[in-house]
Chain A
């Protein structure tokens, strides 16, 4: 591939923990290979700085929390051919979208003695609420292999394959014993998108839905199963209102259970 035809790539950060960018920074040798395959135009944590340049692929980490964020994501959209969200915060608002369920202003008042110094929109919202998103990579954090595979596919000019079946399927493929059936754990695997490699069930514990919803899920049946396992309604609500609380199906299910009286 000649210099001129190298794809131009940017990685942008909004409100986040920086963990999804580590998909690149933790890639080891692959990071150096990537830097030869593409031109990293903007990636502040890795060094390159050119946030306003046109790019072919923009990865976006983090959710929108401030007026400045809002202006900035619009500019990122304008200058990018493809915009791909990187992880739960950018895709569904992330854990910090929990503030949308409460009075964010009150909370700022409770944490900061002088809330007037804090500029904030009062909500944490996913990128797609503000601009068109071409592809979403779920996960808290994203799986580094999925991210690099997506880049590789795009460089070949094909659409990346998206995993959207359930963690349960992954457990079966790996012959992992079902923690819900065998141990009565409140596992969210039946409604959660695979992609992590079923890490939690493999470690003998319940999945907590950090990869967001799978396709064709039944949140009603999931909630009732959790109730059958002995969880109280508020605990069931919190299962849905966790990492991906801002995702519409999880959001709605959590609200329903919150209304229930024990």
Chain B
């Protein structure tokens, strides 16, 4: 047939936005070509800002990279710097960092499930709209989100850009009464978290099995959050200083976020990858809940990420309780710090996946250079691959609006830090029939 036509369709409301995220692809004979997920958050140059700064300025500085996961940035940074200075933090510090991190998982996951992802599956444009018909569901989500924020605030004074973490430990130790009152709240929220797992598992989630490699931290002692080695479902098992030999970031013309590849291939980081690799380390009671939900891991359907987030919320609540149960105000809340020159690495499990840092520091403790690989740039190549597979499987005969919504849902599964941008995803489909 000679009716080769090229149609440029723009969704009107989106044409009026300078989106930080945009999607474009060409459809030819039911196949997708030239798909690009464009991220345009203006370059913020943090790695350069860090140069010439004193080591103790780093936690306050890197927090500003992300308002939703500042704890992750602080934790990867102090781990790297402490390794250079050969500081071994006390068990109390290690435990409280994990507690604080649990707070960030709970907060970020609850926000993502309720305010960003769930409205798609129930046919609403926002959680605010959804609350009119499902008030109890949204309120439960907001309660969990608020619980996560309180846990961060316990050790950080506030949940966005907290001020408690320092190289060597913490600036402040919470009082016994503060901990006891929060422990009580954690205990009461278990019911909410368990109901949430069941609820996410009953959402009408598409069945979209795909082939991909999962990457996460692994720790022999416990489900990895704030420390571990980097492992993959393809057998990778490396220490943090070997990261650059296997993972490489490269720039693509259409994005200010780098694409990171493992041995040249896209890979997945985040809650689904973590459960795919480390599920067996969850407590028996939680593994039982997972079984009851009817979801089987390892799982290759990215749409089940929402269930994985709910499972991690339940785990984080129990883990924070375990660590706070016999809380005592410590004698020393931080180690004495003596700067040393060297290179160090830090990697922790941010809510949306591993966050790797590398710092070089001089003998005075001044940062010589820094390299930060956030989870969103690690997932970006995988998101593009997923979009190609998922949109083709969904069927390119669908209208632009339907394709846009499906594309947005795929992207939101990864909870990219451009979640907000994907809400006004620009879609440009060149249809060549």
Binding site for B on A (CB under 8 A): 13, 15-22, 25-26, 28-29, 31-32, 35, 40, 44-52, 65-66, 68-69, 71-72, 94-96, 98-99, 102, 104, 107-108, 110-114, 117-118, 120, 124, 140-141, 196, 199-200, 202-205, 208, 210, 235, 238, 242-243
Do A15 and B41 touch (CB < 8 A)? Answer: yes
A52 to B66, CA, bound (A): 27
Interface residues of B in 1-48 (CB under 8 A from A): 13, 16-18, 20, 41-48
Binding site for A on B (CB under 8 A): 13, 16-18, 20, 41-49, 53-54, 57, 60-61, 64-68, 70, 107, 111, 115-116, 119, 124-129, 131, 135, 138-139, 142-143, 145-146, 149, 157-161, 163-164, 166, 171-172, 250-251, 253-254, 256, 417, 419-421, 423-424
- Some 29 contacts from A to B, beta carbons below 8 A apart, are A17-B65, A17-B67, A18-B420, A19-B68, A26-B107, A26-B160, A28-B146, A29-B139, A32-B131, A32-B139, A35-B128, A47-B125, A47-B128, A49-B424, A69-B18, A71-B18, A95-B49, A95-B64, A102-B48, A110-B48, A113-B250, A120-B43, A196-B158, A202-B157, A203-B163, A203-B172, A204-B172, A205-B163, A205-B171
Do A15 and B42 touch (CB < 8 A)? Answer: yes
Contact of B119 among A44, A47, A94 (CB under 8 A): A47
Q: Which partner residue on chain A sits nearest B57 by CB separation?
A: A238
Do A111 and B47 touch (CB < 8 A)? Answer: yes
Question: What residues on A are CB-neighbors of B421 within 8 Å?
Answer: 44
A36 → B minimal CB distance (Å) = 9
Contact of B161 among A44, A98, A210 (CB under 8 A): A210
B238 → A minimal CB distance (Å) = 24
Work out how many contacts link A and B, with CB atoms closer than 8 A: 177
A65 to B253, CA, bound (A): 19
Contact of A238 among B45, B53, B135, B420 (CB under 8 A): B53
Question: What residues on A are CB-neighbors of B250 within 8 Å?
Answer: 113
B376 → A minimal CB distance (Å) = 12
Do B53 and A46 touch (CB < 8 A)? Answer: no
Given A44-B421, A44-B423, A102-B48, A18-B127 contact (CB < 8 Å): no
Do A17 and B66 touch (CB < 8 A)? Answer: yes
Do A205 and B172 touch (CB < 8 A)? Answer: yes
A243 to B53, CA, bound (A): 13
A170 to B61, CA, bound (A): 24
A29 → B minimal CB distance (Å) = 6
A13 to B423, CA, bound (A): 13
A235 to B364, CA, bound (A): 12
A218 to B419, CA, bound (A): 42
Do A140 and B251 touch (CB < 8 A)? Answer: no
Q: Which partner residue on chain B sits nearest A106 by CB separation?
A: B48
Do A45 and B251 touch (CB < 8 A)? Answer: no
A-side interface mostly: loop
Question: What residues on A are CB-neighbors of B142 within 8 Å?
Answer: 28-29, 31-32
* Contacts A19-B68, A28-B143, A242-B57 supplied; 7 other A-B pairs, CB < 8 Å: A26-B111, A28-B145, A32-B135, A48-B126, A95-B49, A95-B61, A124-B42
Contact of B17 among A20, A47, A51 (CB under 8 A): A51
Question: What residues on B are CB-neighbors of A243 within 8 Å?
Answer: 64
B268 → A minimal CB distance (Å) = 23
Given A15-B44, A22-B67, A203-B157, A72-B18 contact (CB < 8 Å): yes
A13 to B16, CA, bound (A): 15
Given A28-B145, A28-B146, A120-B43, A47-B251 contact (CB < 8 Å): no
A77 → B minimal CB distance (Å) = 15
B158 → A minimal CB distance (Å) = 6
Contact of B160 among A19, A47, A71 (CB under 8 A): A19
A17 to B374, CA, bound (A): 13
Do B160 and A65 touch (CB < 8 A)? Answer: no
* Central interface residue in B47, B48, B166, by most chain A CB within 10 Å: B48
Given A28-B143, A47-B119, A200-B157, A107-B423 contact (CB < 8 Å): no
A78 to B52, CA, bound (A): 41
Do B127 and A47 touch (CB < 8 A)? Answer: yes
Question: What residues on A are CB-neighbors of B417 within 8 Å?
Answer: 18
B320 → A minimal CB distance (Å) = 18
Given A29-B139, A49-B13, A19-B164 contact (CB < 8 Å): no
A19 to B256, CA, bound (A): 20
B102 → A minimal CB distance (Å) = 17
A208 to B163, CA, bound (A): 10
A111 to B61, CA, bound (A): 18
Given A65-B42, A68-B18, A202-B157, A25-B143 contact (CB < 8 Å): no
